[in-house]
Structures are given as C-alpha cells and as structure tokens.
C-alpha cells in the first residue's frame, strides 16, 4: 500500500474531512466503531447532526488518551535545577522542611470503567533533596501524562506519585486528587429522584518517601496548606468511582465489539481485568438515549393558558428546576442540568400532576441524542400546546464536552432560551421571569 493509500483523503464527503487531511488507522477504526454504535441506537448516521460525529468522537478520544505516547523522563530530565542550601536547611527553596506544593491543577481523564470523562483537581507536594528542585510546570505536565490515559483515580494518584519520586528523587512526594464523576446509576433515579446529583465527588491521596506514613507531620503541613480547598486527611478514601456499581445488563454483540475496538485503538488491552466490563457499562449508559420513537402522552393534562381571562387576571407563572439528562449528538458525551418554564396563566398554581407531566415532557426530549439549542426549542413548542402560546423556556446545563476534548473549561455552564407568544415581544415579561430563576449550583 502506498503512502496515499494509507491516508484517508476526503473532499467534504460523508465524514467531513477536508482535502489533504491524513487520518491515522487507529482513528479510522474508532470512526467505524462509532458508526456501529450510532446505528445500534437507531440513528441515521447520514443526517446532518451526526454526519461528522464519528470523526469528532475519534479525535476527542485520541486527544484525551495521548498520555500513552508520552514519556515522563523526557519531561523532567531537562527541568531539574540546582538549589544550594537544601541539605543544610538554610535559605533553601520551600522554607523550613523544604515542602513545595502546587495546588489546583485541573485535568480530565477517561474512566476506564465506563469510558466517560471525569474531572480531576490535583494537588502535588514534594520535599526537595540532592540540592535540586524541579520546574513547577513539570509537575503539571507529569500529572497530565497519566491523566490522559484510561484511568482509575486511585491508580492515577499512585502513578503520578511514583513517577515523580523516581524521576526527581526527592525526600518524598504527596499527591491528592479531588475527582468528580458523572452519577447516573439507573434510569429510574434520574427521572423520579428530584434530589439526584449530577456528579459524585471523591478524593484520593498517595505518598512516597517521608509521606509513606499517613500520620507523618509532613501530611499535617500538606493539608494545612490545602485547608482553603476544603480538604483534610479525613475525607480521603480509596474506593473506585461510582460507575463500578452500575447495573450490568445484556447488550448488542456488534456494539460491544465496537467498544472493544475503540479501547484497543486507544492503546489499551480490552482483556485487561479492569477493562473486561467496560464495554457493557458504556453501552448501559449509551442505550438510555436510544432512539425509541416514542409518542409523548399528554392525555388528561388540563390546558391552563390565558383563554377567557382578562388582562388583569393574567400573570406570569413558573415551574423551575426540572432536572434533565441528555447526550450530545456531536461528541457522544453527556450533558445535564435543569429546565425552567414560564407561561401566562391565572392565579391558579399548576398542580403536582401537571408538574409531573411537564417533567415527563422534559425527559422525553432529553433522553435522546441532542443539542441544547434544539432541546430548548422542542420543550417550548410542546409546552405551548398545553399551557398556551405564551411560553418561555430556559435550559441550564453542564456539558462534559467542555471539560474534555482539549477544551478543559472546568466550571463552565451553558444557558439557552426559547420564547413564544408575548415573551417574544415583551422584554419586561422576559426580565420578570428570569428574576424568578434560582441561581444554578
């Protein structure tokens, strides 16, 4: 096969690659696997919103696992600097005891148990020895090497710690990770539990050298310098992420094989013990968003619009904080948040049954491959058919794609608005409804 045959050229063809782009074989395998997954969801892989999804997913996964091709020794070897006085403890870097800490390093990593990204806030400390210190930016780069692999957070902390101990040879290394993983153990809790949290937060630590002893004074110093980060030794644990307890179920063999092919293309061995159940867990999540083509049932919902009401009897009503879950069709990554609905009605407050039906409507449009803009419009149009044409819908969401894919904008959120009827022409009405919306946590 010639060089041109080994490259994947396209001129705005099906996968949207521009002329001259060269796609690596591993990326092509992931693309093909993603097409199998999309077809297994009942989707049309040629529709506009999904046409480039296989390539986007492949690029994101390859970027998010680039650590397999990086070497810690190459990063650290050129960044060790002499610092006189370290051994005599006179005027040395780090002050008395020599402790140096870099805090609040934000990363994301792909969970090896379910292939979903999880967020990591990393704190690294070390005590220099041998009259040398390491460039501070290298601590972040070393941590990123191991984060950009399929990971378990406990192992991630241990690998960062061991690697720094070996490459820097300090008196000791301490690593603390604060991890946030999406929490979606079953379909029922997401729909019926109003207090269901979107993320589960866990913390892990690892120590070497003088940090080997969990009760050593150096750990007290370390956590004292992290106290403003709401961390202390008592909140550490060593259990895996929440997805390991997800219920396992049967899945399509072709889709399972596709996920295994993706894992292999990232540089991992799908037969590794920790990865054996990963395809099933990932599919259990993904199949929640299968295109079932269900009908939205609104039988018995009493229309509560402004028909027959005088202007004086009409006022803005609201139903806020209706939770939803969805899956981004561009990257096959989850997003979730809350929906707020405003409408004109009488002084009568919407009853619990009506609110339950609105929540069902939100879930109906949420549980499918989506984009937030479309989701907002669809909810508004459906609500207008039962609550009257004067409707405003606000959707607030956190998107996993914003913490991964090289974007890594941690803490960001997205708000979208759809307005119909009076809300589209009356800025005062829009402002009044927006004031009712609580602050998003």
Bigger pLDDT: 31 or 409?
Answer: 31
pLDDT at 52: 95
- Encode pLDDT of 143-171 as tens digits: 999 999 999 999 999 999 999 999 989 99
Q: Is the CB of residue 199 less than 8 Å from the CB of residue 180?
A: yes
* Range 55-70 average pLDDT: 93
Does the CA dihedral 41-272-74-92 come out positive or negative? positive
pLDDT at 307: 44
**Where residue 67 falls among pLDDT bands split at 50, 70, 90?**
very high
Q: Which of 6-15, 27-36, 261-270 is least confident?
A: 6-15
Task: State the average pLDDT for the chain.
Answer: 81
Quick check: 64 pLDDT over 70? yes
Quick check: 119 pLDDT over 80? yes
Percent of the chain with pLDDT over 90: 51
Quick check: 296 pLDDT over 80? no
pLDDT at 242: 61
347, with CB counted inside 10 A (0-12, 13-18, 19+), is exposed
pTM recorded for the entire structure: 0.82
Q: Which of 94-108, 247-261, 414-428 is least confident?
A: 94-108
* Range 363-385 average pLDDT: 94
**Where residue 73 falls among pLDDT bands split at 50, 70, 90?**
confident
Does the CA dihedral 91-95-97-103 come out positive or negative? negative
Kindly state the tokens that stand for 405: 């894919």
pLDDT at 30: 97
pLDDT at 404: 79
DSSP letter string over 227-275?
A: GGGT--GGG------GGGGSPP----HHHHHHHHHHHHHTT--TTSGGG
């Amino acid at each position: 096969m010639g060089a041109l045959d080994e490259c994947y050229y396209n001129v705005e063809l099906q996968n949207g690659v521009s002329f001259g782009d060269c796609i690596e074989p591993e990326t092509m395998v992931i693309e093909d696997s993603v097409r199998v997954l999309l077809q297994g969801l009942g989707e049309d892989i040629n529709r506009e919103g999904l046409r480039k999804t296989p390539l986007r997913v492949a690029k994101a996964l390859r970027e998010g696992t680039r650590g397999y091709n990086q070497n810690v020794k190459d990063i650290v070897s050129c960044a060790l600097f002499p610092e006189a006085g370290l051994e005599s403890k006179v005027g040395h870097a780090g002050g008395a005891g020599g402790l140096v800490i870099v805090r609040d390093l934000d990363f994301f990593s792909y969970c090896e148990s379910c292939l979903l990204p999880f967020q990591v806030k990393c704190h690294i400390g070390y005590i220099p020895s041998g009259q040398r210190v390491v460039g501070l930016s290298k601590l972040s780069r070393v941590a990123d090497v191991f984060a950009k692999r399929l990971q378990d957070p406990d192992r991630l902390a241990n690998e960062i710690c061991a690697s720094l101990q070996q490459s820097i040879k300090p008196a000791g290394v301490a690593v603390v990770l604060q991890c946030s993983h999406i929490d979606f153990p079953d379909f029922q809790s997401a729909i019926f539990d109003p207090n269901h949290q979107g993320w589960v937060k866990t913390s892990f630590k690892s120590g070497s050298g003088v940090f080997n002893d969990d009760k050593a004074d150096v750990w007290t110093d370390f956590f004292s310098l992290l106290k403003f980060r709401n961390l202390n030794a008592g909140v550490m644990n060593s259990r895996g992420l929440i997805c390991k307890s997800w219920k396992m179920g049967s899945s399509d063999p072709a889709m399972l094989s596709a996920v295994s092919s993706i894992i292999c293309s990232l540089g991992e061995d799908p037969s590794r013990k920790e990865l054996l159940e990963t395809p099933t867990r990932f599919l259990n999540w993904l199949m929640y968003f299968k295109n079932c083509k269900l009908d939205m049932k609104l039988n018995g919902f009493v229309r509560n619009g402004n028909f027959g009401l005088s202007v004086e009897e009409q006022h803005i009503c609201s139903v806020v904080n209706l939770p939803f879950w969805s899956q981004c069709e561009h990257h096959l990554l989850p997003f979730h948040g809350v929906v707020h609905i405003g409408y004109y009605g009488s002084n009568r407050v919407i009853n619990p049954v009506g609110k339950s039906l609105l929540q069902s409507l939100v879930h109906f449009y949420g549980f499918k491959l989506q984009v937030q803009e479309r989701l907002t419009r669809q909810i508004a149009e459906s609500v207008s058919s039962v609550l009257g044409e004067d409707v405003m819908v606000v959707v607030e969401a956190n998107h996993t794609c914003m913490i991964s894919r090289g974007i890594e904008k941690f803490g960001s959120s997205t708000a979208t608005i759809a307005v119909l009827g009076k809300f589209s022409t009356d800025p005062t009405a829009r402002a009044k409804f927006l004031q009712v919306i609580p602050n998003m946590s």
